[in-house]
Structure 1
Amino acid sequence: MLVIFLSPVVADTVLDTANLNAANLDAVNRARFYDVIDTSRYDMAPASAAMTHKIDALSYALMGAEYVGGRVGEGQLAKYDKDPLSRFDVFDCTTYVETILAGALSVSSAEFESNLQQIRYQNGHVDFVSRNHFPSVDWFRNNQDKLMDITPEVAKGRAAVAKAVIDKSAWYQHLGSDVIHCDSDLSDSCQILLEQLHSEGDVFRAEPAFLPYVPLTALYDGEDNQPNMALLDRIPSGSVISMVRPNWALKDYIGTNMNVSHQALAIRKEGVLFLRHASQRYKKVIDENFAEYFAQYSPASSLKGFNVHVLRH
């Protein structure tokens, strides 16, 4: 039997955070999130069921949090990005997923920061260059000990493979002063630091990245374009869902193409599958019906499908 005890602050309501300032909101959300970790109890439950319930509870605790991109870094002592290592007042799509996974892997809240660093950085080494910036060649590859790709099993013979050449060196050359938060973009110190950041990319070579995905043509079957319920049933609640745009043409903007544009969690509620994610469109963490979310993309869209990963137990 699985038993999860949540304190009243989490179980009774999702806090209305609109009137809290950033520092208070970070503290309140962090406390609520840590409370889920520290008050979760598992008795005689299969590991997979326990993890599913824990991911649901942790991700629900942060519902409504604001979407803001690029607000985490390596902390005040960092050379380049001095944003906080973790924060709970705002998220982008990947930092939200990373936060939930780190919490799910934590037996106590004391383990959270270390687990987050292990997910976000290669070998847990906190450094801008070691950060898993690219899903296809960093994030999935460096977390193979924690995550397992089950996309082929979900697709049942209909999986496709996305390919993009990831050019990290060119990406570094496109990084601007906003990354290092200069007081004055034209200052000598800012320009020197930016040149040093650009040079960090010299060690990298462009490399092909391959990622399996479930095509949207497999998600919607027949002339009436109804969702394939058997396929949806094969997606476990608690899965990491990555939206795949094969060879996404971003080279002119950021220096490299990519395969992944967005990340979310699959959460099943009363038999219906939802995407729980930090939404750039709605500017907050929300639930959206899984099938309806993908139905909005036409065949002409660059979004062609999704990848599915689950935590290893």
Structure 2
Amino acid sequence: MARVAGVGLALTAVVAMGAGSASAAPAVRISDGSDQILQSMLAAIDDDPNADPGAQAESISRLFLGTPYGANTLVGSATVPEEHVVELERVDCFTYADYVEALKRSDDRDEFVTNLVAVRYKNGDVSFENRKHFFTDWSASTPAVATDVTATLSDNAVSSPKNLNSKDAGGVYLPGLPVVPRTVTYIPSEQVDDDVVGRLRTGDYVGAYAEDGGLDVTHVGIFIDTQNGPVFRHASSRSDNSGVVDTALSAYLDTIPGIVVLRPVA
């Protein structure tokens, strides 16, 4: 669903890295705990430039398994100034995807902070207006973070016109932001057969298609092809497994109308 910003986040430190330099990383709001996690994750990442992208996506996304679920960790709204938040002690489905994608592109802390801006915001502008609030913003914005490959995976893909941010029941999801017309393509869950799954790649971002005309998806995760079968790796808010978990893809498909698939460009 849309990234509804929260303002109740309590962080213990605000760190400006490289201030005063034209190439400096932007200021970031990060807790001591998140800072330690970030350093640990960066140390664990294989920096082999020839590493297989799928293996890299699997290993980096696996670092988050067991991380608690936490909603509303980002700070900013139409009335509250946006802050560049790094919160690794708890994640929701969208921030989890943000952090995995930024880590994939980074060798050190400053690169991560800078790359997170490129993943999360349009035009490198840390502002509520330019935050990529919707999943398909990753493919619709320039430069794209990912390519929408949904239509290439199945002849049964369906294209649906949407007015993102406009609730079917009236009003908007995110006050202060415009309604964005966009055609969203999805594959109905009952059409996601072995052939479609065989075309998915480890590291693909998979969104649960939203039937509401004002949303593109309601949830996001990462496709991982494991030895025990394909899984949907995601930050779940369910009370019985709240946190980042692996769910069998077939079981997850039984709970959603369809999937939207974005393939990372880097």
TM-score range, shorter chain: 0.7 to 0.9
TM-score normalised by L of structure 1:
0.66
Map of 2:91 onto structure 1? 91
Map of 1:276 onto structure 2? 233
Unaligned runs of 5+ in 2: 1-29
Q: Residues 243 and 144 from structure 1, CA distance in 2 versus in 1: closer, same or farther, beyond 3 angstroms?
A: farther
Unaligned runs of 5+ in 1: 1-21, 176-197, 220-227, 250-256, 298-302
Is 1:292 the equivalent of 2:251? yes
Among 245, 251, 262, which residue is 1:309 paired with?
262
Any conservation in 2 of the 1:278–1:285 contact (CA below 8 Å)?
A: yes
CA distance in 2, matches of 1:125, 1:82: 10
Map of 1:245 onto structure 2? 210
Residue 209 (structure 1) shift: 1.9
Any conservation in 2 of the 1:162–1:211 contact (CA below 8 Å)?
A: yes
Q: Where has structure 1 moved over 6 Å in runs of 4 or more?
A: none
Map of 2:164 onto structure 1? 166
Map of 2:13 onto structure 1? none
SS at match of 2:87: coil
CA distance in 2, matches of 1:120, 1:140: 12
Is 1:261 the equivalent of 2:218? yes
CA distance in 1, matches of 2:260, 2:93: 15
Residue 163 (structure 1) shift: 2.7
Residue 70 (structure 1) shift: 1.1
CA distance in 2, matches of 1:212, 1:144: 20
Among 169, 184, 205, which residue is 1:211 paired with?
184
Question: Is the radius of gyration larger for structure 1 or structure 2?
Answer: 1
Residue 162 (structure 1) shift: 2.8
Amino acid at match of 2:96: Y
Residue 134 (structure 1) shift: 2.4
Map of 2:48 onto structure 1? 41
Q: Residues 26 and 273 from structure 1, CA distance in 2 versus in 1: closer, same or farther, beyond 3 angstroms?
A: same
Any conservation in 1 of the 2:54–2:203 contact (CA below 8 Å)?
A: yes
Residue 84 (structure 1) shift: 5.5
Map of 1:29 onto structure 2? 37
Map of 1:224 onto structure 2? none
Map of 2:122 onto structure 1? 122
CA distance in 1, matches of 2:164, 2:31: 37
Is 1:62 the equivalent of 2:64? yes
TM-score normalised by L of structure 2:
0.77
Q: Residues 108 and 143 from structure 1, CA distance in 2 versus in 1: closer, same or farther, beyond 3 angstroms?
A: farther
Amino acid at match of 1:286: V
CA distance in 2, matches of 1:36, 1:141: 32
Residue 106 (structure 1) shift: 1.9
Among 67, 73, 79, which residue is 1:71 paired with?
73
Residue 144 (structure 1) shift: 5.2
Question: Which structure 2 residues correspond to residues 182-221 of structure 1 after superposition, within 5 A?
Answer: 200-201=176-177, 204=178, 206-219=179-192
Amino acid at match of 2:237: Q
Map of 2:18 onto structure 1? none
